[in-house]
Chains A and B, each alone.
Chain A
Amino acid sequence: EDKVVQSPLSLVVHEGDTVTLNCSYEVTNFRSLLWYKQEKKAPTFLFMLTSSGIEKKSGRLSSILDKKELFSILNITATQTGDSAVYLCAVTGTASKLTFGTGTRLQVTL
């Protein structure tokens, strides 16, 4: 059974800090890993990673995948209060469905 574990479960940082969110996975015939941001609504897509070692970047957010060690990290630099959300990691494998982790709840304070 496919499995995704995210850590930490939650964290509180001050505006301007840099944070790193972790995602480890077990999946049969890995195809892709996706990061989503979820505020008080549906998840919004951030990144999809399929190849090891290639960093995806969008503004202050970046993510990288390590297929050998079966994990990914999501970095957010110079955090802002608008970054407060739950960040979800998900993987697809043979079944092509998304298997989600429970998420990391990030709170950015002033």
Chain B
Amino acid sequence: EAEVAQSPRYKITEKSQAVAFWCDPISGHATLYWYRQILGQGPELLVQFQDESVVDDSQLPKDRFSAERLKGVDSTLKIQPAELGDSAMYLCASSLAPGTNEQFFGPGTRLTVL
């Protein structure tokens, strides 16, 4: 069964360091999402791509976060510099198209910033 792949699964870093997360969506899924989930809360959208274009990055802290999906397939989310408050689960999801299609989530990357 097709799955969303993410790596790494776990990342521990010190504050002020740079970190990067990778996501490979389900083949054929045009829409890709990055979410951040803080412990005890629901996921919060950081950025949404339609193919290689950013559709929504209104909640992305652009002073330190960046995301790209250069060829419209896999995607990278980067944080530089990392802060203590960035400790969270970073989830990638994909869907065939935006709107009424269900989103399928990858296993996530758990980030701990020391």
Per the bound structure, the CA–CA distance linking A44 and B106 in Å amounts to: 9
Beta-carbon nearest neighbor of B50 in chain A: A96
Most A CB within 10 A of own CB, among B91, B98, B103:
B103
With known contacts A42-B108, A88-B42, A102-B40, A96–B98 Cβ distance under 8 A:
yes
Beta-carbon nearest neighbor of A34 in chain B: B102
Q: Which residues from chain A contact B45 at a C-beta distance below 8 Å?
A: 97-99
Of the candidates B35, B43, B100, B104, which one forms a contact with A45 in the assembled complex, judged by CB atoms under 8 Å apart?
B104
Contact A42 B105, beta carbon cutoff 8 Å: yes
Most B CB within 10 A of own CB, among A34, A50, A95, A101:
A95
Contact B56 A95, beta carbon cutoff 8 Å: yes
Contact B33 A102, beta carbon cutoff 8 Å: no
Contact A96 B99, beta carbon cutoff 8 Å: yes
Contact B100 A42, beta carbon cutoff 8 Å: no
With known contacts A42-B91, A97-B56, A100-B43, A31–B104 Cβ distance under 8 A:
no
Per the bound structure, the CA–CA distance linking A95 and B107 in Å amounts to: 25
Q: Which residues from chain B contact A31 at a C-beta distance below 8 Å?
A: 99-100
Q: Which residues from chain B contact A97 at a C-beta distance below 8 Å?
A: 33, 45, 48, 56, 98
Q: Which residues from chain A contact B56 at a C-beta distance below 8 Å?
A: 95, 97
Contact A41 B102, beta carbon cutoff 8 Å: no
Of the candidates A45, A92, A101, which one forms a contact with B42 in the assembled complex, judged by CB atoms under 8 Å apart?
A101
Chain A nearest CB, measured from B97 CB (Å)? 9
Q: Which residues from chain A contact B98 at a C-beta distance below 8 Å?
A: 96-97
Contact B100 A103, beta carbon cutoff 8 Å: no
Is residue A32 within 8 Å, beta carbon to beta carbon, of the partner chain?
yes
Closest 3 CB pairs of A and B: A100-B42, A96-B98, A42-B105
21 cross-chain CB contacts under 8 A = A32-B99, A34-B102, A36-B105, A42-B106, A42-B108, A43-B43, A44-B105, A45-B102, A45-B104, A45-B105, A88-B42, A92-B100, A95-B56, A96-B98, A98-B35, A99-B45, A100-B42, A100-B43, A100-B44, A102-B40, A103-B41
